[in-house]
Structure 1
């Protein structure tokens, strides 16, 4: 018995030594990835926070405050994921010079954000920031200002002063919400030669010709005119087809659009409501995303407190599959995980972020009982 124990012990040590010395031994790769969260800071939140997500189990956790900054309600990354750009959704007042946009250097190894630059957006309450495909220019949409601004980025990604400004004009049919322009989204097309601005206040999607080589931004043209009182909010492009999708906050409609190579005009393909039939209570669309294969469109409903899942046909026809409760209140924003397996909802009023699993075959959402608490979450960004 003693001899057997000795042999077993020697064999065990020998095997461990071989594995430890073998340079080809595979390391176990972590399944956890980072999430950067933007919040409103009018309550307990202080700015931008770090979270983590297990891409296999959907487990989510908070890791702490990354940067103190006012109302970072919308975020974007540089192409190389080294810089985070954050809207500061402020208006002019005793303690504020107005809306702004900030850049932070992201250290993925040490999990830190370091302030790099800040500029005023020349309009109150900016609510959207985006970068052109080569991340050489940045655009911000100013909701209360009713305009968009275009900033050039420096060699190190910093936001340079003296932006181009394009003011919108007009009003919409809703006497309460559409007394003036309210730019809610500014987003480049995939080729980067058109900057689209979605204006909730005047029921229009405008387009601006853009020349990256010179930085020249053309004057706005109406790319798509919506029915009065629609209140267009956000726009997303199809991953492979010449299609775009606009969601309307005030009438809860989702529209599929097509566009050509040489034209900025958007033409209606189809339209569907994001709410279940028979629902008559107050609700407002919040955000829209599309699956990486272009087959499913996801839309958040604030009030109904759900995510609507719509199918997208090859020709762009839409069909509402179902709506799924978000297990919280006021889903202002949501996003899909990089591997497309999970959908994460930021519930602004209930202070929670909920993770759902996506059924790849149907696009439907499955409740996996994973969530975390964060004060007033309104944006989620994956590096």
Structure 2
């Protein structure tokens, strides 16, 4: 009787295991420009703790990282080598396997996939232009550049809206945001009828974040130490500013420039990094009006050039480019405020943090 019971229980156990879906895993990828490598960490879903997995050596100093919409592939701008690399992501351990390495159009400051994963957009700070590469379904980047468009000096980022119809490129130099229309079938960009939006004097928009409902786009202003909110016309694909709010506390008189900006997955909170004040500025987002309310600033590591929020919206990781440390925070779901729980030594000159939750 006992043997029969054990046999039955073992059969039930095997059935349960075979019909239990694999839990998604989250990985953190960090560009280390000072060491010419990408550091790979696994994130504990329960407490946000990071465990080092591997380092991936590159031909040059990496900068911006991007992941395809299906979370299968990682793309890297190898800035000093003027190349783009693509990697497959091992869903079990996050390790990277190189798929392709192709010439970029120069030293690309920023890369982004379109919403369908068919094209890779790039913005060039020094060269003052944008470009488009084609992406294959197996993660390869086309050797030939599909399109190059001269814009102006200091093109700092490039990102499509949620509808995948329009693309925006903030420029710190001319203090403007270029507006493009995307042909999803060909990947080609063309200037919108209103080709650019001039920002208010002294702002210099750098990076951007698009709201989930596609009604608002937020830009952090490098020189202005502020965040500007814009309304997006869903038919025309043009932007209209309606709010600018400081990233600094009142009375601060030291030097500062803004670097990165991120919306929480819920869209309820927004964050921007201060280089100089060395903090993460926190905001609550009014989901109806799009307006921002300051929640103050949270101290972080020296020169926070890049940070990222995990897809669950529970954790934020910010890299100090000057001291090589990564600050880890819990995000309060009720208040949006940050609570640091760990600090990691990650390596020399971290310039990008990308978190990927593999399905």
For normalisation by structure 1, the TM-score amounts to: 0.85
Please say which of residues 103-112 and 56-65 is displaced more in the overlay: 103-112
The more displaced of 367-376 and 278-287 is 367-376
8 Å contact from structure 1 (residues 39, 47) kept in 2: yes
Taking only aligned residues, the RMSD between alpha carbons, in angstroms, comes to 2.4
Cα drift, residue 157 of structure 1: 2.9
Residue matched to 1:7: none
Shift of residue 162 of structure 1?
Answer: 3.0
Q: How far does the alpha carbon of each residue in 1:38-76 deviate from its partner, in whole angstroms, 9 at most, with x for none?
A: 221xx3x23112101112212112222134242221111
Aligned to 2:154: 182
1:51 pairs with 2:41: yes
2:324 maps to 351
| Shift in alpha-carbon separation, 1:213–1:241, aligned structure 2, 3 A | closer
Instruction: Tell me if structure 1 keeps the 8 A contact 2:42–2:93.
Output: no
RCO (CA 8 Å, sep 6+): is it higher in 1 or 2? 2
- Separation in structure 2 between the aligned mates of residue 250 and residue 244 of structure 1, nearest angstrom: 19
How many Å apart are 1:200 and its aligned residue?
Answer: 1.0
Structure 1: gaps spanning 5 or more residues:
1-9, 91-95, 170-180
Match of 2:105 among 107, 122, 130: 122
Alignment-derived partner of residue 296 in structure 2: 322
Counterpart of 2:116 in structure 1 is: 134
Residues 1:155 and 1:17: Cα distance change in structure 2 (over 3 Å): closer
Q: After the TM superposition, which residues 1-383 of structure 1 pair with which residues of structure 2 at under 5 Å, given as runs?
A: 20-23=10-13, 24-25=15-16, 33-40=26-33, 43=34, 45-90=35-80, 99-109=82-92, 111-123=94-106, 125-160=107-142, 161-169=144-152, 181-219=153-191, 221-313=194-286, 314-326=288-300, 328-383=301-356
- Which residue pairs with 1:178 in the alignment? none
Q: Which shows bigger deviation, 63-72 or 339-348?
A: 63-72
- Cα deviation, 1:245-291, whole Å, max 9, x if unaligned, reads 01110111101110122112101121100000010101111100111
Structure 2 gap segments, 5+ residues each:
none
What corresponds to 1:6 in structure 2? none
Q: Secondary structure at the match of 1:185?
A: coil
Residues 313-340 of structure 1, C-alpha deviation per residue, up to 9 Å, x if partnerless?
12022221110001x2111111111111
Aligned-residue offset at 1:36: 1.9
Higher Rg = 1
Q: Which deviates more from structure 2 when the two are superposed, residues 187-196 or residues 27-36? A: 27-36
Give the C-alpha shift of residue 15 in structure 1. 8.5
Deviation at 1:31, TM superposition (A): 8.3
Q: Please give the alpha-carbon distance, in whole angstroms, between the structure 2 residues aligned to 1:73 and 1:193.
A: 26
Normalising by the residue count of structure 2, what TM-score does the alignment of the two structures yield? 0.90
Q: 1:150 to 1:28 in 2, by over 3 A?
A: closer
Distance 1:61 1:376, change over 3 A: farther
User: What CA distance in whole angstroms lies between the structure 2 residues aligned with 1:115 and 1:306?
Assistant: 35
Q: For residues 162 and 103 of structure 2, what CA distance do their matches in structure 1 show?
A: 27
